[in-house]
């Protein structure tokens, strides 16, 4: 289940650009979209790898 650590996120937007189905930018931080809290789609892994501060867990 994807989560974004709001304290770590620096708002670079990388996760939302590789996995827009799950992540969206709000107020300068990434958030898991409503209804996607249990998503297991493959781009989540790409988002985790693309995050420069290791803020995404799944
Ligand atoms: S890739 Fe990481 S730092 Fe960048 S917006 Fe997403 S969660 Fe935040």
Is 22 a pocket residue for ligand 1 (Cβ < 6 Å)? no
| Average of per-residue pLDDT values in the chain | 97
**Which DSSP symbol is given to 3?**
E
Check which CATH number belongs to the domain holding 39 and give it: 3.30.70.20
Q: In which band, very low, low, confident or very high, does the pLDDT at 3 lie, cut at 50, 70 and 90?
A: very high
Residue nearest to atom 1 of ligand 1 (CA): 51
Nearest CA to ligand 1 atom 4: 12
- Domain membership of residue 19 as a residue range: 3-57
Question: Would the pLDDT of 1 be above 90?
Answer: no
Q: What is the pLDDT of residues 15-37, one digit of tens each?
A: 999 999 999 999 999 999 999 99
Report the DSSP beta bridge partners of residue 29.
26
Q: What pLDDT, on a 0 to 100 scale, did the predictor assign at position 58? A: 93
Residue 30 CA to residue 50 CA, distance in Å, equals: 13
Q: What is the pTM of this model?
A: 0.95
* Planar angle of CA 45, 42, 21, nearest 5 degrees: 95
Q: Ligand 1 pocket test: which of 7, 8, 11 has the largest number of ligand atoms within 8 Å of its C-beta?
A: 11
DSSP single-letter state for residue 50: H
Number of domains in the chain: 1
């Amino acid at each position: 289940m994807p989560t974004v650590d709001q304290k770590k996120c620096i708002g670079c937007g990388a996760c939302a650009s590789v996995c827009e189905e799950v992540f969206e930018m709000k107020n300068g931080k990434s958030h898991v979209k409503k209804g996607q809290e249990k998503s297991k789609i493959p781009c989540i892994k790409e988002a985790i790898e693309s995050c420069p501060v290791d803020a995404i867990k799944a």
